[in-house]
Amino acid sequence: MTLLASVVSCSRVRLFACFLRLGSQQASTLQLHTGASLAAKSYYEVLVLGGGSGGISMAARMKRKVGAENVAIVEPSETHFYQPIWTLVGAGAKPLSSSGRPTANVIPSGVEWIKARVVDLNPDKNCIHTDDDKKISYKYLIIALGIQLDYEKIKGLPEGFAHPKIGSNYSVRTVEKTWKALQDFKEGNAIFTFPNTPVKCAGAPQKIMYLSEAYFRKTGKRPKANIIFNTSLGAIFGVKKYADALQKIIQERALTVNYKQNLIEVRADKQEAVFENLDKPGETQVISYEMLHVTPPMSPPDVLKTSPVADAAGWVDVDKDTLQHKRYPNVFGIGDCTNLPTSKTAAAVAAQSGILDRTISLIMKNQIPVKKYDGYTSCPLVTGYNRVILAEFNYNAEPLETFPFDQSKERLSMYLMKADMMPFLYWNLMLRGYWGGPAFLRKLFHLGKS
């Protein structure tokens, strides 16, 4: 914190640092769920599906509303990961061990952990079924099931990850392979991909490209590296202010960006990647690689795709202002599994958790929700080992910046925030239900500005 404050040299940031210390002290008094739970009940006032960032955050908030004994989380995983840090893990800047903690240690004390997988949702009867043949009923349901990685939709994957020279920062099983491929690079094409589906953290596929370029420069390999970003999209970023800044970096660092190119096959034994031209369906191109970073296609979890709570595309169908389900008033959604028209990021989940907290509070009192989610999301665009462009924006792809300076510029202070402050906020405040995004900081930092 002291380092960040000294770099930014701003009295408001020092005030923010003081807030964080106070928040940490408050959060540290909480006792987390660490012991074995009692036998799960068959009914809970609030049932949370998913033990990721949205699920844990909302369980902590609901515990304070209805009591821990009336809240349960359904989650099969033994380990909870802070996935945004995997960009830095894949570039060798952080150890993988720093990203995970036992799920038991992040579930709020007293909240029931149902260690099972959801296999069926029946909102008409206010119940769900799990893979161990249990039926669990609820009064209120919060769906926070995240997004599904579909590596198998690319021919040759995931089995291709058994070969060298290929990695992916999107999976705990493959993120360290990215770093290995980076270290083993000698000369040739370094290819980075973006799929033809919605993804979580849409900036991550290009962040690892910038970090790889910086690593090649640092190790003297840059002259022998042809760096290619093949994206299925038609633009480098969805917000013009930040896209312009990124285009300048791309030009300065001689990076090749090919638009409307979708990875459809990996021939890992031959070190070849096959791309389809989305503007000319059926037209393909085979490119050899010395390093390949794959961003997988993604989709709603299978359990949601055919569920009554899903829209036509399989996402949880919620009101974009309140996060309340459009057809089932006692059902709510948060995070990557929803059809909210904003980027799927941890920062978005933080902002959504504060809004959803207020929405549910009013619903419980038979009142109409009034607080509206503006689509706030954030993407710390890592452009090197000590630089970040902090993109923040809303539903309308308009910048919604927190700090009183131009965030489209690369800054060391924003890198330190990404690498050190944000993980602190996540583990100590967000997962404990005390961080609902930087809206109040935005008001604080811009106080007096007109």
Catalytic residues: 201, 379
Q: Provide the 8-state DSSP code for 154.
A: S
**Residue 222 contacts residue 216 (beta carbons within 8 Å):** yes
Beta strands in 32-184 (DSSP E): 43-49, 71-74, 79-81, 100-102, 112-114, 118-122, 127-130, 135-143, 148-149, 166-167
Give whole-number Cα distances, 420 to 29, 130, 388, 413, in Å: 22, 37, 13, 10
Cα torsion angle, 111, 46, 27, 380, sign: positive
Coil, strand or helix at 206: helix
Distance CA 353, CA 340 (A): 13
Distance CA 389, CA 391 (A): 6
**Residue 151 contacts residue 157 (beta carbons within 8 Å):** yes
- First vs last Cα of the chain: how many Å apart? 29
| Strands 284-288 and 272-277, bridge-based pairing | antiparallel
CB burial string 290-314: b at 16+ within 10 A, e below: bbbbbbbbbbbbebbeebebbeeeb
Distance CA 235, CA 282 (A): 22
